[in-house]
Chain A
Amino acid sequence: ILNVEQSPQSLHVQEGDSTNFTCSFPSSNFYALHWYRWETAKSPEALFVMTLNGDEKKKGRISATLNTKEGYSYLYIKGSQPEDSATYLCAFVMGYGQNFVFGPGTRLSVLP
Chain B
Amino acid sequence: SQTIHQWPATLVQPVGSPLSLECTVEGTSNPNLYWYRQAAGRGLQLLFYSVGIGQISSEVPQNLSASRPQDRQFILSSKKLLLSDSGFYLCAWSPRTDPLGNTEAFFGQGTRLTVV
A→B interface (CB under 8 Å): 6, 31-32, 34, 36, 43-46, 49, 51, 89, 91, 93-94, 96-105
* B94 & A97 in contact (Cβ 8 Å cutoff): yes
- By a CB distance below 8 angstroms, the chain A residues around B51 are 98
B→A interface (CB under 8 Å): 32, 34, 36, 42-46, 49, 51, 57, 90, 92, 94, 96, 98-110
* A49 & B104 in contact (Cβ 8 Å cutoff): yes
* B103 & A97 in contact (Cβ 8 Å cutoff): yes
CB distance from A12 to the nearest CB of B (A): 17
* A100 & B34 in contact (Cβ 8 Å cutoff): yes
* B49 & A98 in contact (Cβ 8 Å cutoff): yes
Which residue of the partner chain, among B45, B99, B106, B110, contacts A97 with CB atoms under 8 Å? B99
* A102 & B100 in contact (Cβ 8 Å cutoff): no
* B43 & A100 in contact (Cβ 8 Å cutoff): no
- By a CB distance below 8 angstroms, the chain B residues around A98 are 32, 49, 51, 101
CB-based closest 5 A-B pairs:
A104-B43, A97-B101, A93-B101, A46-B104, A32-B101
- Given A43-B90, A43-B107, A49-B103 in contact, is the A104-B46 Cβ separation under 8 Å? no
- Given A31-B101, A96-B101 in contact, is the A43-B108 Cβ separation under 8 Å? yes
| CA distance in complex: A6, B43 (Å) | 10
| CA distance in complex: A49, B36 (Å) | 19
* B43 & A103 in contact (Cβ 8 Å cutoff): yes
Closest A residue by C-beta to B105: A100
* B100 & A31 in contact (Cβ 8 Å cutoff): yes
Closest B residue by C-beta to A91: B105
* A32 & B46 in contact (Cβ 8 Å cutoff): no
- By a CB distance below 8 angstroms, the chain B residues around A36 are 104-105
- Given A43-B90, A97-B32 in contact, is the A102-B98 Cβ separation under 8 Å? no
Closest A residue by C-beta to B110: A43
What are 20 A-B contacts with C-beta separation under 8 Å?
Answer: A32-B100, A32-B102, A34-B105, A36-B104, A36-B105, A43-B110, A44-B44, A44-B90, A44-B105, A45-B107, A46-B105, A46-B106, A51-B101, A97-B99, A97-B100, A97-B101, A97-B102, A98-B32, A100-B94, A100-B101
